[in-house]
Amino acid sequence: MRWWRADLHLHSALSPCGSLELSPRRIVAEARRAGLDLIAVCDHNAAENGRYVRRLAAGEPAVLMGMEIQAAEEVEVLAYFADEESALELQAELHAALPDVPCPPELFGDQVVVDEGGEIVRRVDRLLLSPVAWPLAEVVRRAELRGGWAVPAHVDRVPGGLLGTLGLFPEGPWPQAVEIAPWTPLEAARARWPELRDRAILRGSDAHYPSEIGRAWTDFYLAEPTLEEVRAAVRGQGGRTLRPSPEAKEER
C-alpha cells in the first residue's frame, strides 16, 4: 500500500460554468502537472466527459466516473462509479428528471461533450445547472442502486452544500464521508459543524478552470487507486486511510 493523491471533484467543458478549455486532453495534462494519481470529472448532472478523460489518461491518472447531482432541495451530491455503464445510465435518468429549461450559451456557458482528440461529440441543450425532480434521499438511493457512492459536495458551502442549505445531516448513517469546500480550514469546519467529527472529510478542487486543478486534494493510503479501495479507506479497513489537503488560498 502507498499514498495516492486524488482530486475527486473537477469539472469539464460539459459544465456550463466550467471553462471551455477543460477538454479531456487539458484535464489529463493538468492532472499530471499537479501530480494527481486519481481524479473524477464531476460535471453538473452529467458524467459523459469522464469516459473520454479515462480513455485518454490510460491509468495515469486513474479516473473514476462521477457527476455532481443537484437534488430538488438544491443540495449537491457527488456520485462516483467504477464503471462507465452505470454512470451513463444514471445520467440518462437524471436528464429525464431535469426541468425543460434551455441553456443559452451566452448566458450560462457551453455544455459540450468533447472526445479524446478534442472534437465536439455533441452539445447538450437542456440546462444541466438545474435541480433534478428528485429529493436528496432519492438521489442517494438511485446512485446506490446502480452501485455508486454518494458524497455530499462542499457541505459547508452556500449555495449547494448539504449543511449550508439544510442545516444538519438527515437521520441515519448516510453520509459516512463528506467533501468540504476547497478554501475552508478543516478545524473551522469541525468547529462550526460538530457532526463532521465522526465522518471522513474529503477535499476536492471543484476546479472550473485549468489552473484550479490540484489546488485542493485528498491523499488516500490504498493498495490501488480504485473506487473500492477509496471506500475501504473511508471505513478505515485494513490500515487504509485518508487525509484532506490544507485549504486552498484563494477564495471565490
Partner 1 sequence: MKLARIVAELGLENLAAGDLTREVTGGYCSDLLSDVLAHVAPGELWITHQRHLNVVAVAKLRDVAGVIFAQGNRPGHDVVSRAAAEGVNLFLSERSAFEIAGRLYRLLRP
Q: How far is the CB of 110 from partner 1 (least distance, A)?
A: 29
| Residues 139, 162 contacting (CB under 8 angstroms) | no
Choices 71-79, 118-126, 212-220, 230-238; region in contact with partner 1 by CB under 8 A: 71-79
Residue 170 touches partner 1, criterion: CB under 8 A: yes
Closest contact distance (angstroms) between CB of 165 and partner 1 is 6
> DSSP secondary structure string, the chain?
-EEEEEEEEE--TTSTTS-TT--HHHHHHHHHHTT-SEEEE-BBTB-HHHHHHHHHHTTSSEEEEEEEEE-TTS-EEEEEESSHHHHHHHHHHHHHTS---B--HHHH---EEE-TTS-EEEE--B-SSS--SS-HHHHHHHHHHTT-EEEESSTT-TTT-HHHHHSSPPSSS--SEEEE-TTS-HHHHHHH-GGGTTSEEEE---BSSGGGTTSS-EEEEESSSSHHHHHHHHHTGGG-EEEEPPPPS---
Nearer to partner 1, 39 or 150 (CB): 150
Selected from 100, 106, 167, 187, the binder of partner 1 by CB under 8 A is: 167
Q: Least separation, in Å, of the C-beta of 78 and partner 1?
A: 19
Among 15, 49, 165, 184, binds partner 1 (CB under 8 A): 165
Among positions 164, 199, 209, 241, the unique one binding partner 1 when judged by CB under 8 A: 164
Q: How far is the CB of 167 from partner 1 (least distance, A)?
A: 3
Q: Considering beta carbons, is residue 121 or 137 the nearer one to partner 1?
A: 137
Name residues contacting partner 1, limited to 10-49 (CB under 8 A): none
Question: Which CB atom, from 131 or from 204, has the smaller least distance to partner 1?
Answer: 131
Q: How far is the CB of 196 from partner 1 (least distance, A)?
A: 14
- Of 157, 139, 159, 158, nearest to 149 by C-alpha is 139
According to the binding rule CB under 8 A, does residue 136 interact with partner 1?
Answer: yes
Using CB under 8 A as the binding rule, whether residue 135 contacts partner 1 is answered as yes
| Residues in touch with partner 1 (CB under 8 A) | 72-74, 135-136, 158-159, 163-168, 170-171
